[in-house]
């Protein structure tokens, strides 16, 4: 039988880290004590009030379809949240609730991109951005951001990347994988450029609750009405409320854009999970104390991880200001040989750490940069201490 995939399916890249992830899981299944720094979700339970709201929704029979773009009362709760926390005025007609933040992003690219359009993606980037752009028949344009500039876009590099085909700029603050948080002045500069060139801003704000060192999360859409009309805000329940498996994300945008995304979703998936939507209403309107407790715990781990990495000969990192990731600089190790293995790139070192230290990490090449490795501190402080000790022992003892 001759099976041929579509050209679009053939364009989608397989996961660079699949081999490492698969091997780590097999090692764990074999009883090996593997510590993973690859986790992209909070290691906290969903708060009790949210879980109880889901149970109550089931008991009340809220188990049928909702409008495709989300429950009206959830949309209103999102509007209230955006007003109170982000100084953004939206109506329910501006909101589309989807099956997680990733689904929200997919809807965006399908709604705004045409063949030949270009979407600017800062590097390091979240792994799915480039493939999502490609699946919408558009072209990813990568702009490398330096560690010296805290992995953030600067004006000159952004301007050099813009062409007549530029449709959108992706802005992820706080960032996965870098933890970068854009300041108000930096956002104002990007906003001026976007308004002058009539370019959409896709503002991925899923980690907004997790900021440190006195930093403030600012939504670029809140700066003025002109940039608000060009911005599609992406957020969700996964990271701030420890609800990754509940799969509720949402967008806030101009009503024309929201209608387009809603139409696409109505044919692709219909509504997101009804029970999870009811739980999300409680999440947004109920007790918020669990968020700060989680943030404080992450901050303690962040401080320890940054200090410990910078104590290890051959490694370094800057302190992230948000999310729960550290980009560990491995440039000093490239070209060296460790236990008979020559380290040419981030994949080589990642495989070595798994094989010899039983520590799973994500190679930087997955995020478009080969001189770094991403570590997640969404794991216990005890795990972080033990894993970093193992890495230090492997590299230096």
Does one domain contain both 235 and 309? no
Does one domain contain both 295 and 372? yes
CB 248 within 8 A of CB 78: no
pLDDT tens figures, 44-74: 999 999 999 999 999 999 999 999 999 999 9
Say whether pLDDT at 181 is over 90.
Answer: yes
CB 35 within 8 A of CB 382: no
> Is residue 261 helix, strand or coil?
helix
**What rounded mean pLDDT belongs to the chain?**
96
Domain count, the chain: 2
Q: What is the pTM of this model?
A: 0.96
Tell me how far apart the alpha carbons of residues 100 and 105 are, in angstroms, rounded to a whole number. 9
Q: Is residue 1 included in any domain, yes or no?
A: no
Please count the other Cβ atoms lying within 10 Å of the Cβ belonging to residue 288.
15
Does one domain contain both 272 and 303? no
Does one domain contain both 11 and 41? yes
pLDDT for 186:
98
Domain of 391: which CATH number? 3.90.1150.10
pLDDT tens figures, 120-153: 999 999 999 999 999 999 999 999 999 999 999 9
Does one domain contain both 313 and 269? no
pLDDT for 39:
82
For residue 22, what pLDDT band results from cuts at 50, 70 and 90?
Answer: confident
Radius of gyration of the chain (CA): 21
For residue 1, what pLDDT band results from cuts at 50, 70 and 90?
Answer: confident
Q: Which domain holds residue 53?
A: 48-285
pLDDT tens figures, 184-211: 999 999 999 999 999 999 999 999 999 9
CB 318 within 8 A of CB 180: no
Could you say which of 285, 308, 331 is where a domain stops?
A: 285
Say whether pLDDT at 18 is over 70.
Answer: no
Instruction: Give the Cα-Cα-Cα angle 389, 391, 395 (nearest 5 degrees).
Output: 120
DSSP state of 316: B
Does one domain contain both 255 and 316? no
Could you say which of 252, 285, 318 is where a domain stops?
A: 285
Strand spans (E) along 23-92:
35-36
Q: Is residue 18 included in any domain, yes or no?
A: yes
Does one domain contain both 331 and 212? no
CB 246 within 8 A of CB 273: yes
pLDDT tens figures, 231-274: 999 999 999 999 999 999 999 999 999 999 999 999 999 999 99
Does one domain contain both 308 and 278? no
Does one domain contain both 295 and 357? yes
CB 101 within 8 A of CB 128: no
Q: Is residue 11 included in any domain, yes or no?
A: yes
Phi-psi region of 34 (alpha: psi -120 to 50; beta: other; left: phi over 0): beta
Tell me how far apart the alpha carbons of residues 172 and 121 are, in angstroms, rounded to a whole number. 10
CB 272 within 8 A of CB 97: yes
Say whether pLDDT at 88 is over 70.
Answer: yes
């Amino acid at each position: 039988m001759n099976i041929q995939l579509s050209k679009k399916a053939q364009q989608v890249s397989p996961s660079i880290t699949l081999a490492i992830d698969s091997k780590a899981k097999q090692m764990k299944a074999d009883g090996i004590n593997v510590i993973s720094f690859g986790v992209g979700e909070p290691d906290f339970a969903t708060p009790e009030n949210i879980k109880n709201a889901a149970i109550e929704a089931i008991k009340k029979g809220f188990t049928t379809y909702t409008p495709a773009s989300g429950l009206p009362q959830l949309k209103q709760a999102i509007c209230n949240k955006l007003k109170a926390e982000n100084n953004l005025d939206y109506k329910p007609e501006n909101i589309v609730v989807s099956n997680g933040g990733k689904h929200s992003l997919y809807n965006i690219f399908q709604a705004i991109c045409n063949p030949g359009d270009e979407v600017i993606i800062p590097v390091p980037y979240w792994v799915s951005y480039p493939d999502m752009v490609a699946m919408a028949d558009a072209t990813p344009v990568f702009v490398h951001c330096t560690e010296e500039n805290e992995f953030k876009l600067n004006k000159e590099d952004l301007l050099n990347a813009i062409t007549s085909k530029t449709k959108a700029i992706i802005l992820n603050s706080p960032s996965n994988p870098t933890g970068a948080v854009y300041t108000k002045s930096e956002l104002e500069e990007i906003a001026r450029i976007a308004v002058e060139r009539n370019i959409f801003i896709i503002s991925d704000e899923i980690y907004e609750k997790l900021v440190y060192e006195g930093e403030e999360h600012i939504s670029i859409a809140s700066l003025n009405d002109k940039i608000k009309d060009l911005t599609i805000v992406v957020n969700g329940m996964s990271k701030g409320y420890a609800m990754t498996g509940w799969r509720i994300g949402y967008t806030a945008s101009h009503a024309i854009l929201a209608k387009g995304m809603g139409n696409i979703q109505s044919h692709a998936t219909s509504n997101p999970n009804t029970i999870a939507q009811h739980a999300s209403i409680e999440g947004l309107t109920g007790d918020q104390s669990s968020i700060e407790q989680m943030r404080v715990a992450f901050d303690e781990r962040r401080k320890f991880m940054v200090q410990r990495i910078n104590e290890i000969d051959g490694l370094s990192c800057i302190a992230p200001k948000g999310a729960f990731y550290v980009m560990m600089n491995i440039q000093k190790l490239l070209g060296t040989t460790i236990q008979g293995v020559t380290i040419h790139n981030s994949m080589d070192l990642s495989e070595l750490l798994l094989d010899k230290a039983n520590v799973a990490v994500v190679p930087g090449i997955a995020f478009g940069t080969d001189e770094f490795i991403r570590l997640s501190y969404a794991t216990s402080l005890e795990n972080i201490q033990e894993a970093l000790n193992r890495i230090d022992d492997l590299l230096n003892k």
